Structure formats: C-alpha cells, structure tokens
Structure 1
Amino acid sequence: MAGMKKLLIALMMAVAAPTHAEVFAKGADIGWLPQMEATGYKFYDSDGKEEDCFRILKDHGINTIRLRTWVHPSNDRASGHNSKDETVAMALRAQRWGMRVMIDFHYSDSWADPQQQRKPAAWEGHDFPQLLDDVYNYTHEVMQALKQAGVTPEWVQVGNETRTGMIYPEGHTDNWPQLAQLINRGYDAIKAVSPSSKVVLHLDRGNDNAWFRTWFDNAQKYGAKYDVIGMSYYPFWLDGRPDYSESISDLGANLNDMAARYDKEVMVVEVGGVDTEPQNTYDMLLAVQRKVADVPGGKGLGVIYWEPQGARSWSHYELSAWGADGRPTKAMEAFRVKLGDK
C-alpha cells in the first residue's frame, strides 16, 4: 500500500511539474565568452569570488543561452570566433550547466544586422539556386554537429535582425520571393535534423509595430516558414535615445499584436541597457519580462540579454550588465525576480 501511495504521489508531481517549454526563458547571449576567457578575463560573483561565468549567470536566474554562429569567422578579438566547432562546444557547455540553448544563424562570416548582411566569402559568385543549397547545407551541417554532440537546441534563428533581409543582395526585402525561399531552406534544414526545435525569425526595434506588420505580412504572403517571432529591444539605440519608459508600452502592444495577428509565439531575443545605469536597466528588464509574460495564451516565451557578461573594460560595449570590477551589476538581479512579484 505504501508503495502504491508513493507511485501516485510521483505521478501527481510529474503531471504538475512544468515542462521545459513552459518555463519562461531568462537568457543570456554570451558569444564573446570564449574570447574573454582566452584573453584572460576573470569573472567574479557578487561577493568577489572568482567563478565560472556560467555559475554566476545561473545563480542570477539565467536558464537559457543564445549563441551566434558564423560560417568562416576570423580570429579577431572583437569580430571573430563563433565558428561551428566553437558554437557546438559552447552549446554543450551550456547544456552541462542545465541551460536551454538557442542557436542564431547569421549566414555571414561576421556580424549580420540591419546595417550589414554580407554573404559568406565562400558563397560569393554563387547563383541563386546554389545559394539556396549553401543555406541548406551549412544549416544542416551545424545542426547535425550539435545533434552528434547530444545537444538539441530549443530554438534556432534563421537570420539575425533581418529587417531588410539577409544574404545581400539576393535575400534583400526588395525581393521577398527570394528571401522567403532562403528562409525556408534554413527552416527545412533545421527541421530535418531537429524537428522539435522552434524556428525564430528576428527583427530589431521591437517597439515598431508598423514595421513588424509590414515584414510579417510579407512573410505570410510569400510563404516563409517559422514558429516564433523574435524581437530586439534596445531603448539606447532608438532615435534620441529615450528612456525605456517611453517605448515599453509600444513593445508590449507589438508583442500582443504579433501573437494575435499571426497566431505565433513571441520572444525578446535581444535586450540591453547602459552598464553605468544599473538601476534603470534593472527596471527595464523587469518591465520587458512582464510584457512578454503577459502576452495572452502563454505565447510570450522569454527574454534574452545580449552579452550581459561582455564588460566594457574588455569589449568597449556600453550595454553589458557587468561592472569594471568583473562582477555582475544590479541589473542582472532582475532575472531572479519571480514575474508575479512586484
């Protein structure tokens, strides 16, 4: 009888426990970490004790790691690394720390964003049918390498901040039929290796509903395949650099509209605030997490900080959440807060 009671209790706990996919993603994009470690940067916890960066992130509530991957990157300190092998090694390391994994395909040898979407040097001169094969083969190769390492990414991005498309000029939004084909080759390669991975399409300026509607209306019109709408949200980079309080309502409205209009899940896959204003960044992160969590129907999946550990003293990047003393700032404590708390 006692054994039966224990079995019933175990079954009840299994039913009540949230699945991985139901847990709100609190993430960090840490593509710089291998370079930081290789150049001798030391990480310290809030008490000043030297620690593995993953330990510090986990202790601050981070449960998800996002990693960019480039085709043939250089070894430049700031704009290199993120090769297939390094990405796989980092993904495996994240998994060993109990983290969920997002992979971000830039389809470039370096940074891809609205200002630059350069195709990899090895793909230069290829006609469009060959470019379609390039996208499929490269995506499949990286996904297969992850699978062989025992890593199943929960999310995979096809392109990074593709407001005006990717793999210029062929994949520019001036030619949506071609852009949709390129997206779909990435999608097909991901699903061929990892059917459970959710495919993310990602634009910047998550507060700009008009642009998101235009872009995703076109994605729908031309048959682009995806599962999740990803957004960047950086108040610092908005025109005039306004405080987040001036655009956070627009972000929330856009999240809700995207989820309802396209019946898709939504996620803030990049966010950041000024490192020297930790209280303001803390407040902003709480507000962003709550806007995402409040999306109806449980369609708001999570929030990911871009390079929180990328301290300005090493990276010269002003939107990290790390101080000159090698420790996380108060901003990181926002990920420890339960979203129902005030």
Structure 2
Amino acid sequence: MKKIKLLLSLFAVAVFASCTTTKDSKEVKTEDKSFAKGADVGWLPQMEATGYKFYDIDGKEKDCLQLLKDRGINTIRLRVWVNPNNDKASGHCSPEETVVMAVRAQKMGMRIMIDFHYSDSWADPGKQNKPAAWAKHSFAELLNDVYNHTFDVLTLLKKAGVTPEWVQVGNEIPGGMLWPEGSSDNFAQLAQLLNKGYDATKAIDSKIKVVVHLDEGNKSEKFRWFFDKATANNVKYDVIGMSYYPYWIKTDYKSTILDLENNLKDMASRYNKEVMVVEVGGDYTEVQNTKEMLEATIKAVKSVPNNKGLGVIYWEPEGEKSWSGYQLSAWLSDGKPSPALDAFKN
C-alpha cells in the first residue's frame, strides 16, 4: 500500500512538473508575441476607394491587412486629423474614418496605435499647424481642445469596441506642436498640452500607453535635449517613440544603426521608459537593403534591456508609389508586397 501511495505521489509530482513546464513554455511564446511588428496604413481606405487592388505573390487578389498579417505584422498604427479635407493622399483620416479602420484591423486580430497629429493634415518637424477650428483660440482654449479631441476620439473608439494599446500625443514633435503656442521654445506650454493629451487618454483607460514621438532616432543629442526638458517640465508619458529613416538622412543604415541602438538603450535607462520605433521605412527599389535594415532595426529594439524595446512599425508599407508618389513604401508596382516585409516574419 505504501508503495502504491509512493507511486501515486511521484506521478502527481511528475504531472505537476509537466504542467508547469508547459505553462512556462507558453509564457515564453506569449512574450515573443508581445513584440509589436507594425504597419501604419492611413492611406489604405483611400487606396481601396480609388480602386487599387492588392495581390499575393501567387497573383491572387487579397485583403491588404491579410497580406500584412501573413508577413508577421500584428499591429496597425492609424493617424487621426481633426477636420481633414478629401484629398486622397493628404486628407481623410478623420475621427470617424479612423474608427472604421481601427475596428477592421482589430477584427483581423491586430493591436492598435492611434497617432494624434492635432492638425487638419500632416504634422511633422517642419510643420505643426493648428486645426482651422482652433486657429484663433487662446492657450487656455487650446488646452481644452487637446483634451476634448483626444477624449472624444478615444470615446468613439471605445464605443465601437476598440481600446488602443498605445496613443501617440503629437507626431514628430522635437519643435513642439500647435505652433506657436506649443512650440518647444516655450516648453512649459508644450508640457501642459502634452499632459492634457495624457490625461484624456488615461481617463478612457489607464492601461493605454502614451507615446511621445521625435524624428531621427539615431540622434542622441536631440533626444536627450528634448526629454531632459520634458523631465524638467513634468511631462507625463510612458513610451519614447522614434522615427528612423536612413533614406532621409542620406546615409546607408549600416552607418547609423548602432547610433539608433545606443539611443534606444540610453533613453530606456536615462528616463526609465519603454522605447519603440514607431516609424521606419526604406527605398522600395532597394529590396534587399530595406529588408536588412528592418532586420537590424528589429534587432536593435529587441536588444534594449529588460524588455523595454516594444516594437517596430513600418510607415505606409502598402502605399505603392504609382498611387502615393512615396518612395519608401514596401510594395511593388504589380500590387504585391515587397519581400522586404519578410523581415517581420522572424
């Protein structure tokens, strides 16, 4: 009897150990999946509306989001403008259109990032124009505008069943946003505007991570200057977002990728924040180089200690040049994805 009890005890221990091992292995796999491999696809609805067709490598027509998913993409980033016009490439992306796209992407199993430009069209380091409806508002009114716009868009999303994982407050803002009031020359005011975006986001769901985003992720001095100022002015945020475009700085990625990696690690340790490359892209005609650049960028982000490197997002990979005029898409002239996107499969 004692032998039977002993055998049963040993069996129970073995089963428990087996379950524990299985659980641990599942956790490892889940952790791997937590790395965001993304695409910003703000042009997609208009491409479809104008009749653009997407094809797989076998020549069969397929949903663009499915083509991206098949290549390892698990995250979709969507810009939102306040009152955009109907220009096919520099308009649309209204709150309502963004909700429709977010719902569609989520149904495909994608994670969602919302990128608030706080403008009626493109906001970037060279232009941070206020929406026309806010143009004559005082600074106090602009604070309310940022809060209300952020809160209202996220409320629309929530009502549609989408709570984004990340919300970006401003787009490429080394010079600030909502000029001139929110210029980084007046960082105290910029900080207040950013905090309004943060507060509105957290009022919707405290688990949403708020991203502050600068361009030229390989330039440490720019990031230290900005985020030292942000710290001094008590800016609230969770993630430091970076753009990385070797093409625009007229260098091959091999000469700047180590600078990007070092900056990612420096930002994570210096400010105790998570980091992410929220925009990346390479020349669509240089397929192998772009693929290798993406692989190197993903490796750089994954090398950040303590899992603080969250992911890499390609900007408008589907924006094939004949439709968009954009050189840094990752799509071929025959409507098929560039093999460069296979970098996201690993």
TM-score bin, normalised by smaller chain = over 0.9
1:76 aligns to 2:55 (yes or no): no
What does residue 245 of structure 2 align with? 234
The gaps in structure 2 that reach 5 residues or longer are: 1-7, 9-13
TM-fit CA distance, 1:330: 1.3
* Residue in structure 1 matching 2:301, options 292, 295, 315: 292
Deviation at 1:329, TM superposition (A): 1.0
Partner of residue 128, structure 1: 139
**1:245 is aligned to 2:258:** no
- 1:38 and 1:10 map into 2 onto residues whose CA distance is 50
* Structure 1: distance between partners of 2:117 and 2:211: 12
- Could you say which residue in structure 2 is the equivalent of 1:277? 286
The whole-number CA distance in structure 2 between the counterparts of 1:140 and 1:264 is: 24
Where do 1:44-83 residues align within 5 Å? 44-83=55-94
Alpha-carbon distance in structure 1 between the residues aligned to 2:149 and 2:229: 25
> Given the alignment, which residue of 212, 227, 234 partners 2:223?
212
1:109 aligned to 2:115? no
Structure 1: stretches of 5+ with no match in the other structure: 338-342
Which residue is 1:340 aligned to?
none
| Counterpart check, 1:118 vs 2:129 | yes
Tell me the SS of whatever aligns to 1:133: helix
Q: Residues 8 and 122 (structure 1 numbering): CA distance in 2 closer, same or farther, change over 3 Å?
A: farther
Instruction: Report percent identity of matched pairs.
Output: 62
Match of 1:28 among 33, 36, 39: 39
CA distance in 1, matches of 2:230, 2:154: 24
Residues of 2 paired with 1:21 and 1:109: CA distance? 37
Question: Are 2:332 and 1:323 equivalent residues in the alignment?
Answer: yes
Report the residue type matching 1:98 in the other structure.
G
CA RMSD, Structure 1 to Structure 2 (Å) = 1.9
CA distance in 2, matches of 1:311, 1:70: 22
Equivalent residue for 1:91, pick from 102, 127, 146: 102
Letter in 1 for 2:61: E
> CA separation in 2, counterparts of 1:11 and 1:155?
32
Aligned match of 2:201: 190
Q: Which runs of 4+ in 1 moved over 4 A?
A: 5-15, 18-22
Letter in 2 for 1:161: E
* Inter-CA distance 19–156: structure 2 relative to 1 (3 Å threshold): farther
**SS state at 1:91 partner:** helix
Residues 1:172 and 1:44: Cα distance change in structure 2 (over 3 Å): same
- What are the Cα deviations for residues 4-34 of structure 1, in whole angstroms up to 9, with x where unaligned? x999977875663355796111000000000
Residues 143 and 194 in structure 1, CA contact (< 8 A), matched pair in contact too: no
SS of alignment partner, residue 62 of structure 1:
coil
- Measure the CA separation in 1 of the matches of 2:199 and 2:32: 21
Q: What is the TM-score when the length of structure 2 is the normalising length?
A: 0.93
> How far apart, in 1, do the equivalents of 2:91 and 2:117 lie?
13
- CA–CA distance in 2 between the matches of 1:14 and 1:50? 39
Matched positions, count: 334
- How far apart are residue 286 of structure 1 and its match? 0.1
Measured in 2, the distance between the counterparts of 1:199 and 1:10 equals 37
Equivalent position of 2:311 in the other structure: 302
Letter of the aligned partner of 1:306 in structure 2? W
* Deviation by residue 1:143-181 (Cα, 9 ceiling, x = unmatched): 101111111101000000001000000000010000000
**AA partner of residue 45 (structure 2):** P
> Partner of 2:3 in structure 1?
none
Distance (Å, rounded) in 2 between the aligned partners of 1:101 and 1:214: 29
Deviations 1:180-225 (CA, angstroms, capped at 9, x unpaired): 0000000000000021110000000000000100000000000110
Distance 1:10 1:136, change over 3 A: farther
Query: Bigger radius of gyration, 1 or 2?
Result: 2
Structure 2 residue aligned with 1:159, among 167, 170, 175?
170
- Residue type of the alignment partner of 1:108: S
Give, in whole Å, the separation in 2 of the partners of 1:20 and 1:69: 30
CA distance in 1 between counterparts of 2:102 and 2:236 reads 25
